[in-house]
Amino acid sequence: MRYKGETALLTATLIWGATFTIIKSALNDVSPLIFISLRFTLAAIILLPFLFKALKNITKPVLLGGILLGILYFMGFSTQTIGLNYTSATKSGFITGSFILFTPLLQIILEKKLPSKGSVLGIILVIIGLIFLSSSGTSLLSIFSEIGEGFNLGDFFTLLCAFFFSLYVVYLDIISKKYDYKPLVFLQVAVTGICGILFAVILSFFGLETPHLKVTINLLFAVGYTSILATIVTTIIMTKYQKLIVPARAGIIYSLEPIFSAVVAFFVLREKISNFGFIGGALIFSGLLVSELIDKKNEQVV
Q: What is the CA radius of gyration of the chain?
A: 19
Could you tell me the pLDDT band of residue 186, with boundaries at 50, 70 and 90? very high
With pLDDT > 90 as the criterion, what percentage of the chain qualifies? 41
For 277, what's the count of Cα atoms within 13 Å in the CB-facing half-sphere? 18
- What pLDDT is recorded for position 276? 75
pTM: 0.85
Could you tell me the pLDDT band of residue 66, with boundaries at 50, 70 and 90? very high
pLDDT tens, position by position, 131-171: 777 666 556 655 555 555 556 787 888 889 989 999 999 99
Could you tell me the pLDDT band of residue 299, with boundaries at 50, 70 and 90? low
DSSP 8-state symbol, 59: -
Residue of higher predicted confidence among 80 and 225? 225
User: Chain centroid to CA 5: how far?
Assistant: 17
| Whether the predicted pLDDT of 239 surpasses 80 | yes
pLDDT tens, position by position, 23-41: 878 888 988 899 999 999 9
- What pLDDT is recorded for position 194? 96
> CA of 90: how far to CAs of 23, 31, 99, 160, 262, in Å?
17, 22, 15, 17, 12
